[in-house]
Amino acid sequence: MQFTSPVTLQTIAEMIGAEVIGDKHALARGINELHKVQEYDLCFVDHPKYYDTCLNSAATHIIINTKDVTVPAGKNLLYVDDPFEAYLAIVKHYRPFTPAVKPVNDSAIIGSGTVVMPNVFIGKDVVIGDNCIIYPNVSIMDYTQIGNNVVIQAGSVIGSDAFYYNTKKNRDVWYKRMQSCGNVIIEDDVEIGAGCTIDRGVTASTFIGRGTKMDNMVHIGHDTHVGRNCLFAAQVGIAGACVIEDGVTLWGQVGVSKTLTIGENAVVLAQSGVPSTLKGGKTYFGYPAEDASVKRRELVWVKRIPEMWEKLKKM
CATH of the domain at 126: 2.160.10.10
Q: Name the domain count of the chain.
A: 3
Q: Are residues 188 and 294 in the same domain?
A: no
Residue 228 forms part of a structural domain = no
What was the pLDDT predicted at 200?
A: 98
The answer to whether residues 256 and 270 touch, using CB atoms and an 8 Å cutoff, is: no
Among 303, 240, 242, 292, CA closest to 268? 292
Q: Are residues 44 and 116 in the same domain?
A: no
**DSSP secondary structure string for all residues of 80-139:** -S-HHHHHHHHHHHHS------SSB-TT-EE-TT-EE-TT-EE-TT-EE-SS-EE-TT-E
What is the chain's pLDDT, residue by residue, as a tens digit (315 residues)? Answer: 999 999 999 999 999 999 999 999 999 999 998 888 999 999 999 999 999 999 999 999 999 999 999 999 999 999 999 999 999 999 999 999 999 999 999 999 999 999 999 999 999 999 999 999 999 999 999 999 999 999 999 999 999 999 999 998 888 999 999 999 999 999 999 999 999 999 999 999 999 999 999 999 999 999 999 999 999 999 999 999 999 999 999 999 999 999 999 999 999 999 999 999 999 999 999 999 999 999 888 888 888 888 888 878 887
Q: Are residues 162 and 208 in the same domain?
A: yes
- Give the range of the structural domain holding residue 69, as residue numbers without chain letter: 2-94
Residue 257 forms part of a structural domain = yes
**C-alpha distances in angstroms, 106 versus 135, 137, 185?**
20, 19, 20
What was the pLDDT predicted at 306?
A: 86
Residue 203 forms part of a structural domain = yes
Q: Are residues 121 and 153 in the same domain?
A: yes
Q: Are residues 82 and 128 in the same domain?
A: no
Residue 63 forms part of a structural domain = yes
What was the pLDDT predicted at 274?
A: 98
DSSP-based three-state secondary structure for 49 = helix
Residue 199 forms part of a structural domain = yes
Among candidate residues 77, 94, 111, the one where a domain is terminated:
94
Q: Are residues 9 and 28 in the same domain?
A: yes
DSSP-based three-state secondary structure for 168 = coil
Residue 163 forms part of a structural domain = yes
Q: Are residues 165 and 191 in the same domain?
A: yes
CATH of the domain at 62: 3.40.1390.10
Active site residues: 222
Q: Are residues 278 and 202 in the same domain?
A: no
Residue 146 forms part of a structural domain = yes
What was the pLDDT predicted at 296?
A: 87
Among candidate residues 200, 223, 246, the one where a domain is terminated:
223
Among candidate residues 223, 248, 282, the one where a domain is terminated:
223
What was the pLDDT predicted at 136?
A: 98
Residue 108 forms part of a structural domain = yes
What was the pLDDT predicted at 35?
A: 83
With residue 197 as reference, give the H or E element that holds it: strand 197-199
The answer to whether residues 241 and 262 touch, using CB atoms and an 8 Å cutoff, is: no
Rounded distance between C-alpha atoms, residue 124 and residue 108, angstroms: 6
What was the pLDDT predicted at 222?
A: 97
